[in-house]
Structure 1
Amino acid sequence: MKYIVVDDEPLARQRIKRLLCSRPSFECVADTGKPDDVIALIQQHCPQLIFLDISMPGINGLELAKQINALPAKPKVVFISAYPQYALDAFGVFASGYLVKPISQNELYQIVQHLFPAKIQYTLGNQTRWVEVSDILVARAEDKYTQLYFHTGQAIVETSLKQLSECYPEHFVQVHRNTLVKRSAMTALVQNEGGYFVSVEGYPELITVSRRAAQALKSTQ
């Protein structure tokens, strides 16, 4: 997903790029502090998303958003501003989101995940398919591959558990050296004579949890 950052403060532009650098699917194709350059940059790079400051010299972000919305293939616009009072005006020009400086990584991740749900590609027979990361309940390492379990089926991918954990830390929690589970779907941590297990809503079996992971889960409750 390609994006452009528009802000007359260089440090603000750098912060957005730094917060998103851990997401390999997000590529900053341009950043600028000159609002007059934005339309040409959009036409050149065809981004799907613009992070746009409101208070800038010359044309402000609200007026620039009107020009962006008039483009044949318009990207989504998320405003970034130090002034929360502009939020109503921002949504009046069909903004897709509004973030108040200083922006936290969690806020940024939430809004881009909402606008562009992360997907993982897999092959089924002669078909290429995609599953949204938010639908994945369990990921298990199987030899050189990873088996994904989700609401509508299963898939085998080459993406490692380490890559999944690093790319989507807000979604996955590692419960065993070979298993990740959906953090928000965990319903209970069970201990019996066989060790520790976790139940995951929508998944039919209890999942083995290592002793270290069990202690970490307990401490986060």
Structure 2
Amino acid sequence: MKIAIIDDEPYSREEMKHLLGSYPWAEVVGEASSAEKGLEIILTKEPDVLFLDIEMPGMSGVDLAEALQNMKHKPEIVFATAYPDYALKAFRVEAVDYLLKPFEEDQLAQTMERLKSLVKVGPRENPSLGKLAVHDEDKIVFVKPEDILYIFREERETFICTEKKKYTCRLPIKELEAKLSTYPFFRVHKSYLVQLPFVEELIPWGSGVYQLKVHGADEAIPVSRNYVKELRERLEL
């Protein structure tokens, strides 16, 4: 998902870029300090999504959004502003969401899930057979992503766990999360990535902390409190 950030405040652009760095399937392809410069990025980079401030010198964010309405492939728009008074105008130009500064990670996570359902992420132009290369002692084997229960990182090694066996992989979790973005994996901890259909239980374990029971796995998996709310939303009907 290609994203452009248009905001006249450098700190706000940096904050948004930092927060978006948590989503490996999203890429910031450009940023601008005004709507006029943002229009150049839209025409040259063709982003899928705009994170757009409203109050800017010259053309406002709402003016830019209105100007884009007749584009054949117009980007989805998320207004990111310090002013709550423009919400009605924002939705008149079919904005996906309206985020208030300072940005909250939980709200951004909900926005990103909404965008993911609207913007087609992939498939790649030259898709592979869709198997993951892993190490099994002295040989390389290929595992189907749908067979992976969970993935975790320990020290400098990544482990790929299936119901039958545990393999090792040289890639860090962030890269694996990007490779597996079209499968229902979810980051529950900085060191753990779980395939949601295999989750059987969410067990309280201390103050705001949980553990997961995954089908076919003996060990319990830790869930960081930052991920609990979104995890429950993803798991529940």
Report the TM-score range of the alignment, normalised by the length of the smaller protein. 0.5 to 0.7
In structure 2, which of residues 199, 204, 223 is the aligned counterpart of residue 186 of structure 1?
A: 199
TM-score (norm 1): 0.65
Pairwise CA distance, 1:129? 8.2
Pairwise CA distance, 1:187? 4.0
CA distance in 1, matches of 2:194, 2:53: 38
Tell me, what secondary structure is at the counterpart of 1:69?
coil
Unpaired segments of 5 or more residues in structure 2? 148-161, 163-168, 204-211, 233-237
Letter in 2 for 1:17: K
Residue 208 to residue 161, structure 1, CA distance change in 2 (3 Å): farther
Tell me, what secondary structure is at the counterpart of 1:85?
helix
Identity %: 29
CA distance in 2, matches of 1:9, 1:92: 25
RMSD, aligned CA: 4.1
Residue 186 to residue 94, structure 1, CA distance change in 2 (3 Å): same
| Residue 146 (structure 2) pairs with residue 149 (structure 1) | yes
In structure 1, which of residues 200, 209, 218 is the aligned counterpart of residue 218 of structure 2?
A: 209
Pairwise CA distance, 1:188? 3.0
Tell me, what secondary structure is at the counterpart of 1:209?
coil
Letter in 2 for 1:171: F
> Could you give the per-residue CA deviations for residues 183-205 of structure 1, whole angstroms, max 9, x where no partner exists?
8x734379xxxxxx936xxxxxx
| Residue 173 (structure 2) pairs with residue 162 (structure 1) | yes
Query: Are 1:198 and 1:208, in contact at CA under 8 Å, matched by a contact in 2?
Result: yes
> Could you give the per-residue CA deviations for residues 53-88 of structure 1, whole angstroms, max 9, x where no partner exists?
011112211111001222222111110011223212
Query: Are 1:172 and 1:182, in contact at CA under 8 Å, matched by a contact in 2?
Result: no
Moved more, 98-107 or 3-12: 98-107
Pairwise CA distance, 1:19? 0.9
> Could you give the per-residue CA deviations for residues 32-63 of structure 1, whole angstroms, max 9, x where no partner exists?
11211222221111111111001111221111
TM-score (norm 2): 0.61
In structure 1, which of residues 195, 198, 203 is the aligned counterpart of residue 213 of structure 2?
A: 198
CA distance in 2, matches of 1:128, 1:53: 39
Count the aligned residue pairs: 184
1:1-221 → structure 2 map (5 Å cutoff): 1-117=1-117, 143=136, 144-149=141-146, 162-163=173-174, 171-173=186-188, 180-182=194-196, 186-188=199-201, 198=213, 206-210=215-219, 213=220, 216=222
CA distance in 2, matches of 1:12, 1:189: 36
Tell me, what secondary structure is at the counterpart of 2:68?
helix
Tell me, what secondary structure is at the counterpart of 1:50?
strand
Tell me, what secondary structure is at the counterpart of 1:171?
strand
